[in-house]
Amino acid sequence: MSTADADTEPMSHRRTLEALSGLLLVLFVAMLSATVVSTALPKIIGALHGSQTQFTWVVTATLLTATASTPIWGKLADLFNKKALVQIAIVLFIVGSVLSGLSQNAGQLIAARAFLGLGVGGLQALVQVVIAALIPPRERGRYNGYLGGVMALATVSGPLLGGVIVDTSWLGWRWCFLVGVPIALIALVVLQITLRVPTIRRSDVSIDYLGATLIAAGVSVLLIWVSFVDDSFAWLSWQTAAMVSGSLVLLGLAVVVEARAPEPVVPLAIVRERTTALAILASLAVGMAMFGGAVFLGQYFQIGRGYSPTEAGLLTIPMMAGVLVSSIVVGRLITRTGKIKPYIVVGSVVLVGGFLALGVIDHETPLSLISAAMLLVGIGVGMTMQNLVLAVQNGVALKDIGAASSAVAFFRSLGGTIGVSVLGAVLARRVADTITRDLTAAGIPASGDAGGDLDITSLPEPIQQIVRAAYGDATGHIFLISAAIAVVGVIAATLLPAITLRTSLDLQNPTQEATPEASVPSAVSTHASADQVASWDGPHDGVRGPHRS
pLDDT in tens, 16-65: 777 778 888 888 888 788 778 776 777 888 788 777 677 778 877 887 78
The amino acid sitting at 459 is L
CA count, 13 A, side-chain hemisphere, 244: 11
Q: Is the pLDDT of residue 531 over 70?
A: no
In a domain, 475, yes or no: yes
Tell me the residue length of the chain: 549
487 domain residue, yes or no: yes
Residue 165 lies in a domain: yes
Confidence of residue 376 (pLDDT cuts 50, 70, 90): very high
pLDDT grade, residue 204 (50/70/90)? Answer: low
Interior angle at CA 496, CA 135 and CA 278, nearest 5: 90
CB 44 within 8 A of CB 299: no
Task: Tell whether 531 is covered by a domain.
Answer: yes
Q: What percent of the chain has pLDDT over 70?
A: 79
For residue range 149-170, list pLDDT tens digits in order. 777 677 667 777 877 888 887 8
* pLDDT of 454 over the 70 cut: no
Cα distances from 515 to residues 135, 394, 500, 501, in angstroms, run: 19, 10, 8, 9
In a domain, 38, yes or no: yes
Instruction: Work out the percent of the chain whose per-residue pLDDT is above 90.
Output: 12
CA-based nearest residue to 528, from 175, 246, 93, 202? 202
The answer to whether 116 and 64 have CB atoms below 8 angstroms apart is no
Cα(154)–Cα(170) distance, integer angstroms: 24
pLDDT at 506: 61
Domain membership of residue 424 (yes or no) is yes
CB 227 within 8 A of CB 237: no
Of 493, 495, 486, residue with least CA distance to 352: 486
Q: What is the predicted pLDDT for the residue at 145? A: 67
Let me know if residue 212 belongs to a domain: no
pLDDT at residue number 549: 32
Give pLDDT, residue 354: 92
On whether residue 43 sits in a domain, the answer given is: yes
pLDDT given for residue 3 in this prediction? 36
What pLDDT, on a 0 to 100 scale, did the predictor assign at position 534?
37
Q: What total of structural domains would you count in the chain?
A: 1
Which amino acid is residue 452, in one-letter code? G
pTM over 0.75: no
Cβ(309)–Cβ(302) under 8 Å? yes
Residue ranges making up the domain that contains 425:
13-207+263-536
Task: Tell me what the mean pLDDT of segment 8-18 comes to.
Answer: 62
- In the chain, how long is the greatest CA-to-CA distance? 83
Least confident span in 341-345, 457-461, 494-498 = 457-461
Residue 204: exposed, middle, or buried by beta-carbon count in 10 A (0-12, 13-18, 19+)? Answer: exposed
As a whole number of angstroms, the distance between CA 29 and CA 23 comes to: 10
Best CA proximity match to 223, nearest among 398, 44, 421: 421
Among 239-253, 409-423, 501-515, which stretch is predicted with the lowest mean pLDDT? 501-515
Mean pLDDT (the chain) is 76
Phi-psi region of 215 (alpha: psi -120 to 50; beta: other; left: phi over 0): alpha
CATH number at residue 268: 1.20.1250.20
How confident is the model at residue 91, as a pLDDT?
A: 93
What number is the average pLDDT over the span 245-264?
Answer: 87
